[in-house]
Amino acid sequence: MVQLPPVKKVLRRLPTTPKSLAPAARFAYRLRPRSAGFPFVAPTWPSSVPREPKEDTLGAAYDTAWARRYGVRLARALVVDEVERPLLRLLARPSIDGWERIAAVEGPVVFAANHASHLDTPLVLTSLPDRFRHQTVVAAGADYFFDTRLKAHLSAFLIGAVPIDRHKVSRASAEQPARLLGDGWNLLIFPEGGRSPDGWGHAHRGGAAYLGTRTGRPVVPVYLQGTRKVLKRGATVPTPSSTRVLFGAPLHPSEGESSRAFAARIERAIEVLADEAAHGFWDARRRAAAGTTPSLRGPEATSWRRSWALGEGRRKPRPPTSWPQL
């Protein structure tokens, strides 16, 4: 029996012009394996020519202009009003106070809030009055919310997030919020720079104060209570609990006041709101006038001591027992 050569070797020996081939050989020529070329694959690049670096389109360089177009804003308003608000009413049961303090404020406004949970952003957005709610963007960490394309798209669409570089001074991160305030957009920013890892507050950074000083826009302090109980850092499943959103009176930078001094004043205003939420308006104002408002930063101690002082490490007290009356 004559052994035939492999089909691949036969196809390789065929001439490049099939006109002179027999019909069967011509058919085999058409069936020969071919590699897909341009435009189905990327074109080749000469090894002697250096490539230009690819332009970074994520992180602080992500362009969020598309999320502020009318159609996207309309879709986001439907999500905020018809999905997020009913869901937060079930999970967080928010109590909203202080609207009367910002009733006379003309936008745009910088809202500065404490930060302990991922729930804080949608809770503030759904708690804002109607004239602010759908004209507010959120300053979000570029390294967390814009590190992948999917997260960047969802963050820009769902909460109107704009990327802010939290780890280095970036001109783009400083210019974009100021430009948006100049265009009439309100800004929600968390001056602590991220969620609290242990439930206590942390020192404020100068972002909110810088924007207020540079643009001349008022800064409204906002205190959020109870969001950590619903969804604390590291948790994946929320636990229904009650929360409170308390708006304070707007703050304006004084003439000649530095951004650092203004940032400290914003932090004190949020601490006064926390004292008001815990002990009432008059007691909080008396302590504020005396300079004895409790700090939100907690004690300078080890992690377990800070957790104990916050009340998270304590067991629930047993109910008192008594002997039955004979």
Q: How confident is the model at residue 324 (pLDDT cuts 50, 70, 90)?
A: very low
The residue that leads in pLDDT, 111 or 306, is 111
Comparing CA positions, the residue from 91, 150, 101 lying closest to residue 126 is 91
Token pair recorded at residue 58: 């994520």
Average pLDDT over the chain, rounded to an integer:
83
> 77: closest CA among 21, 14, 128?
128
Q: Please report, in angstroms and rounded to a whole number, the separation of the first and last CA atoms in the chain.
A: 113
Out of 41-45, 239-243, 258-262, 318-322, pick the least confident: 318-322
44-93 pLDDT tens trace: 777 788 877 776 778 888 999 999 999 999 999 999 999 999 999 999 99
Q: Could you tell me if 204 and 191 are in contact, meaning their C-beta atoms sit under 8 angstroms apart?
A: yes
User: Which sign does the torsion angle of CA 227, 273, 107, 89 carry?
Assistant: positive
Answer positive or negative: Cα dihedral of 214, 138, 112, 310. Answer: negative
pLDDT tens figures, 129-178: 999 999 999 999 988 999 899 999 999 999 999 999 877 656 666 788 99
Please tell me the predicted confidence (pLDDT) of residue 79. Answer: 94
Return the pLDDT at 315.
Answer: 53
Q: For residue 326, what pLDDT is reported?
A: 32
> pLDDT per residue over 47-56, tens digit each?
788 877 776 7
Tokens representing 178? Answer: 């100021």
52-56, 117-121, 160-164, 263-267 — which is least confidently predicted?
52-56
Query: Which of 7-11, 34-38, 231-235 is predicted with the least confidence, judged by mean pLDDT?
Result: 7-11
More confident residue, 204 or 169: 204
For residue range 1-31, list pLDDT tens digits in order: 555 555 555 555 545 555 656 676 666 666 6
What pLDDT is attached to residue 134? 92
User: What is the pTM for the complete model shown?
Assistant: 0.78
- List domains and CATH numbers for the chain: 59-298 (3.40.1130.10)
For residue 295, the number of C-alpha atoms closer than 13 Å in the C-beta half-sphere is 9
Beta strands in the chain (DSSP E): 94-97, 110-113, 136-141, 161-164, 186-189, 219-225, 243-247
- CB-CB contact of 185 with 135 (8 Å): yes
Residue 143 CA to its chain's centroid (Å):
10
Lowest mean pLDDT among 158-162, 198-202, 287-291: 198-202
Q: What is the mean pLDDT of residues 258-284?
A: 93
- Would the pLDDT of 32 be above 80? no
Does 273 have pLDDT greater than 60?
yes
Peptide bond just before 39 cis, omega within 30 deg = yes
